Amino acid sequence: MKTIVKNPLPTCDICRGTAKYDAPTIGRGAWAYMCVRCYEVHGSAGAAGVGFEFTTEATPETDRAEEIAAAIENGDIDLAVSLAGDGDLLDYL
């Protein structure tokens, strides 16, 4: 699972708490922002490499271009645009 910087953290689509993950839901196929508890119950917990985990702080190994490419690869254009911020999304591709 890829870690992505997102500040502020989004709202959980299921319980409206603070989301920690963006991942597919089990049995529904749709992706959702989920808090830790909802991810354990409804998410793809245990499916290695599927989805994103959010953090609010950048780490030295965080590479914005890689994060944007991963978001686009997973079909999350809104996340890609959010990661690009005020910059042009095409500058990261």
Rounded to two decimals, the pTM is 0.60
Rounded-to-5 percentages of helix, strand, coil across the chain: 30, 20, 45
For 18-72, the pLDDT digits (tens) are 999 999 988 777 899 999 999 988 887 656 667 889 988 765 545 777 788 888 8
pLDDT attached to residue 20: 94
Structure tokens at 87: 């910059």
pLDDT attached to residue 62: 55
DSSP class of 51: S
Cis peptide before 24 (omega within 30 of 0): no
pLDDT of 3 strictly over 60: yes
pLDDT attached to residue 82: 81
Q: Are 56 and 5 in contact (CB under 8 A)?
A: yes
